Amino acid sequence: MPPFHHPCFLMPLAVLVLSEIGNSHGHVGLAAAASSLSSDTRTTFQLTSGSSIPLLGTGIGNLPHEEITQVIHNQLEAGVRLIDTAHASNNEHLLAEAVASYDAHAGAGLDPIHVVTKVWYTHLGYERTKISVEESLANLQFSSIGSHRQIFVHMLLHWPRCNDDIPWMNCEEEEMNLPQRIKDAGPPPHLNKENAFIDSWKALEDIFQQHQDILETTKGSNSPLIASIGVSNFDLDDMKRLLQTARIPPHIYQGNAWAVFHDPFLMNYLRDHGIFFQAYAVMTGILKGRNASSTSYNTLSRTSRELHATIYAENEGAVITEATVVLAYFIRHNIGVVPRAASSAHQRENSINAVHSVFPHLTETQIENLHLAIPALMKDDSNDKPPVVSVSFMNSLTSPIQVHWIQPETEKEILVSQVIHPGSVDVHGSHPGHRFVAYDPDRTVRKEFVVDAKYGESQHFYVEL
């Protein structure tokens, strides 16, 4: 956890990141959003691939296998059309069987289903990735088990590499345990950590292109079609490397919800390249934050109680909780969410109906309160978030200062700390080599800083004369 962490330091950053995401896609910014909430019923997001994807889905990535059928039946019944999983979860075939068994009893006119799935890091490299994608598509072949529903697949690289520094990754052992035909298909990716994902991306580009051709010529198919390609858990440097050689930039980035508020560099980069952010760990982030930041959780609870009372008065079946409000908040800012919920009570709170019932009733005061509370709750650490350098700026001047990040490619200065009062400290997640500049109000003082700490370390900058 970074030093000097205080929720209020992070608030301006969160507002900046979210409002800019909205603007980048031609949607209203945060201020305008407040006044247009009542008319907003957006359920999907238009990707740069040309396809759209539901903003609210559900995750079965780490759900016990025996719970999958019931969860998927409930979610389909509640109108969910996006399911997140991964090849490594070994449950794509269970997903397909669950949809097919639901469809056997459903009427005609079935909506398409979107499935996000991923290539595990043992399958990085051109040939290994192709095999992984083919296996996923075969697992998701609904028509072979009796469903005629159209399925759109969003295929991501799950991680850029295996990294032995992450406690649960075991690069050698996982390689050893692979089937021989995978080992034979291409070199071990953990011995080629900087380039294997580049080769994988080429495979995804080629497969995406083939599927686009099928889509254009047949205008649909009973086989799963790849509607977009993307990545997950890449850090900013990995993204830059990927985009240097990519013919097709990623359409989707799936990452820890923490990054939305606390990794402005990554978020700005994704925004600038039109890459849609889909968040996991939304629920775990909030629930962890409940213990770490009780004031923020109380603010969120108060808001959800107020909204529940209003919405319940119109619809006695409605249940609006903290979770419902947080999901609405993310979706409202065009961030996709895939909460996992085994319990039917949680599924109801996370449902499209519940989440969308919130929008028309949110007041501007409630929105302002959420801008403070949700980033603070989301600041808790997580084992699988991308690594950062924690940088802090101590204002040792007698006047307030602003801090900007200098975008490397353009030298554009992007505001990251709206105001740091004399004697106060502001903390950000950053990356080695990044530059910042601090100004006093009339810009007579200009101080530049370069991050030379390594990932996982902290670096403190003193803004002084």
Ligand X SMILES: NC(=O)c1ccc[n+]([C@@H]2O[C@H](COP(=O)([O-])OP(=O)(O)OC[C@H]3O[C@@H](n4cnc5c(N)ncnc54)[C@H](OP(=O)(O)O)[C@@H]3O)[C@@H](O)[C@H]2O)c1
Q: Least distance (Å) from ligand X to the CB of residue 419?
A: 32
CA 461 – CA 394 distance, rounded (Å): 6
- The nearer residue to ligand X, 19 or 296, going by C-beta atoms, is 296
Closest to 161 measured CA to CA, from 113, 206, 188, 121: 121
Q: Least distance (Å) from ligand X to the CB of residue 245?
A: 23
- The nearer residue to ligand X, 120 or 393, going by C-beta atoms, is 120
The region that residue 219 occupies, defined by phi over 0 for left and psi between -120 and 50 for alpha, beta otherwise, is: left
- The nearer residue to ligand X, 252 or 425, going by C-beta atoms, is 252
CA 204 – CA 194 distance, rounded (Å): 17
Task: Print burial letters for 113-147: b (CB count within 10 Å at least 16), e (below 16).
Answer: bbbbbbbbbbbbbbbbbbbbbebbbebbbbbeeeb
Q: Which residue has the tokens 């050698």?
A: 172
- The nearer residue to ligand X, 280 or 405, going by C-beta atoms, is 280
Residue 448, both tokens? 């530049």
Q: Least distance (Å) from ligand X to the CB of residue 69?
A: 15
Q: Least distance (Å) from ligand X to the CB of residue 427?
A: 24
- The nearer residue to ligand X, 171 or 281, going by C-beta atoms, is 281
CA 17 – CA 19 distance, rounded (Å): 6
- The nearer residue to ligand X, 196 or 463, going by C-beta atoms, is 196
CB 354 within 8 A of CB 424: no
Q: Least distance (Å) from ligand X to the CB of residue 24?
A: 22
Q: Least distance (Å) from ligand X to the CB of residue 260?
A: 13
- The nearer residue to ligand X, 275 or 281, going by C-beta atoms, is 281
Q: Least distance (Å) from ligand X to the CB of residue 232?
A: 4
Q: Least distance (Å) from ligand X to the CB of residue 36?
A: 26
Q: Least distance (Å) from ligand X to the CB of residue 342?
A: 3
In the chain, what is the straight-line distance between the N-terminal and C-terminal CA atoms, in Å?
29
CA 252 – CA 270 distance, rounded (Å): 9
- The nearer residue to ligand X, 330 or 405, going by C-beta atoms, is 330
Q: Least distance (Å) from ligand X to the CB of residue 21?
A: 19
Query: Per residue, what are the HEC states of 115-138?
Result: EEEEECHHHCCHHHHHHHHHHHHH
β-pair type (401-406, 435-439): antiparallel
Q: Least distance (Å) from ligand X to the CB of residue 128?
A: 18
Sheet of strand 458-463: strand arrangement: 425-430, 389-395, 458-463
Residue 37, both tokens? 């909430």
- The nearer residue to ligand X, 84 or 440, going by C-beta atoms, is 84
Give the CA distances from residue 52 to residues 21, 22, 216, 228, in Å, rounded to whole numbers and listed in that order: 17, 16, 16, 9
Closest to 351 measured CA to CA, from 116, 85, 54, 112: 54
Q: Which position's Cβ is nearest ligand X?
A: 59
CB 442 within 8 A of CB 397: no
Q: Beta partners for 427?
A: 392
- The nearer residue to ligand X, 287 or 445, going by C-beta atoms, is 287
Query: Per residue, what are the HEC states of 382-410?
Result: CCCCCCCEEEEEEECCCCCEEEEEECCCC
Q: Least distance (Å) from ligand X to the CB of residue 432?
A: 23
What percentage of the chain's residues is helix, strand, coil (to nearest 5)? 45, 20, 35
Residue 53 is classified by DSSP as: E
- The nearer residue to ligand X, 319 or 437, going by C-beta atoms, is 319
Length of the chain: 465
Q: Enumerate binding residues for ligand X (CB under 6 A).
A: 59-62, 84-85, 158, 232-233, 254, 280-284, 321, 323, 338-343, 346, 349-350
- The nearer residue to ligand X, 62 or 396, going by C-beta atoms, is 62
